[in-house]
Amino acid sequence: MSEKTVFLNIEDKMLRYDAAVLLRQMADSLAQGGFPAEGGCIAVGNEVKVECKGKLKSKEGGCKGSLKVEIAWSAQS
């Protein structure tokens, strides 16, 4: 039986600069091979699958945009 553990869950409103800092920290962790977590580190394999999707939705008076990045990997325990 498989077990799922949420090791990161961020949903917050922040300044664009602060979001960029957060993304840089996550990128640095990924480059170093893992993400910090309670009780240790979540190891990331050398090969990852990356999916990026950007959307713009036009509305009266402006537009709304979003960017989603998903990184998946397999690691042996």
Write out pLDDT tens, residues 2-25: 788 888 889 999 999 999 999 999
Check whether 76 has a pLDDT greater than 70.
Answer: no
Contact between 41 and 29 under an 8 Å Cβ cutoff? The reply is no
Angle at Cα 11 formed by Cα 65 and Cα 61, nearest 5°? 25
Phi, psi dihedral angles at 29 (to 5 degrees): -60, -45
Query: Residue 77: pLDDT band by 50, 70, 90 thresholds?
Result: low
pLDDT digits (tens, 9 = 90+) for 21-71: 999 999 999 999 998 887 788 899 899 999 999 999 998 889 999 999 999
- Which pLDDT score is estimated for 38? 78
SS3 state of residue 43? strand
